[in-house]
Amino acid sequence: MLNSDSSTNVRPRWAMIVDLNACTGCSACVVACRAENNIPITGPDEAAYNGTIQWMRIERNWKGRDRDFRVENRPVNCQQCDDAPCEPVCPVLATYTNAEGVSVQVYNRCVGTRYCGLNCPYQARFFNWFDYAWPSPLDVQLNPDVSIRTRGIMEKCSFCIQRINAAERQAEREKRPLQADEIQPACAQSCPAQALIFGDIHQPGGRFSQAWKDPGLETLLPEVGTRPKVRYARRVATPRSVLAAAPETPVAEVEA
């Protein structure tokens, strides 16, 4: 019903491809995410003591040595695992994968055992150690579509579920299928290099669902068996657009 192809009744399954060739590490996604999702700024003392909250972060990895030395900027958010280790361990079912494949956190249900945070191999979950404040005029920019979290609960990236829901409701009201590019999470929307590509795996014949099947895409920590819905296009010598058709000849890698 909400799918672009109304003949099939398949719900969308949201996913993201991160193009590491395009990412410059500018951190626009980090800032956009903070603004969109009312993520508190915990201050310099907390930052020095690992007390920051950032649903989207840029991991800077140093690869190679001497003249081959280079930096890889890797945006990491919740990897939206199909087999999410964070979900079964919650004693109060405060986190679960919804019908569209998004691993969601139910703030009102969370009691703060923090077990999910430990069991997330990506450390994509963040705990509200305090009640954080938005001193004026920062409070004016709060997003009314996203609830502010209280102390003592977990939070994490939700693929901007408020945007997904709003777009789906809009499409439903207008009695039309959801358009392919209608939904953009804040990070993808703000990425100047278009390194973050968001889409629906289930969209038949769509550019995103085709690109998603590219065997060259890799996941973070595949050995944990989490089957993430965020895939990375690793850096190669002759980069191409992630959404372009698969090339005839394999591309050489810069460095393993």
Answer for the pair 194, 239: CB distance below 8 angstroms, yes or no: no
Binding status of residue 89 toward another protein by CB under 8 A? yes
Binding status of residue 131 toward another protein by CB under 8 A? yes
Complex with another protein: residue 73 or 189, whichever CB lies closer: 73
Binding status of residue 130 toward another protein by CB under 8 A? yes
Strand 14-19 versus strand 95-97 pairing type: unpaired
Binding status of residue 121 toward another protein by CB under 8 A? yes
Out of 44, 91, 144, 215, name the contact with another protein by CB under 8 A.
Answer: 91
* Integer Cα distance of 207 and 222 in angstroms: 24
The nearest distance, CB 197 to another protein, in angstroms, is: 22
Complex with another protein: residue 115 or 167, whichever CB lies closer: 115
The nearest distance, CB 204 to another protein, in angstroms, is: 34
Q: Kindly write down the DSSP assignment for every residue of 28-96, as one continuous string.
A: HHHHHHHHHTTPPP--HHHHHTT----SSEEEEEEES-GGG-EEEEEEE-----TT-TTTTT-TT--EE
The one segment of 81-89, 162-170, 195-203, 236-244 that binds another protein by CB under 8 A: 81-89
Complex with another protein: residue 16 or 76, whichever CB lies closer: 76
The nearest distance, CB 48 to another protein, in angstroms, is: 9
Instruction: Please state the φ and ψ torsions of residue 164, each to the nearest 5 degrees.
Output: -60, -50
Contacts 24+ apart (CB under 8 A), 127-134: 127/153, 127/154, 127/155, 128/40, 128/53, 128/152, 128/153, 128/154, 128/155, 129/42, 129/46, 129/51, 130/42, 132/40, 132/41, 132/42, 133/40, 134/40
Q: Contacts with another protein: how many residues (CB under 8 A)?
A: 43
Complex with another protein: residue 16 or 90, whichever CB lies closer: 90
Binding status of residue 148 toward another protein by CB under 8 A? no
The nearest distance, CB 146 to another protein, in angstroms, is: 19
Binding status of residue 239 toward another protein by CB under 8 A? no
The residues, any chain, with a CB within 8 Å of residue 89's CB and separated by 6 or more, are 115, 116, 119
Enumerate binding residues for another protein (CB under 8 A). 46, 49-51, 57, 59, 61, 76, 85, 88-93, 109-115, 117-119, 121-123, 125-131, 150-154, 220-221, 224
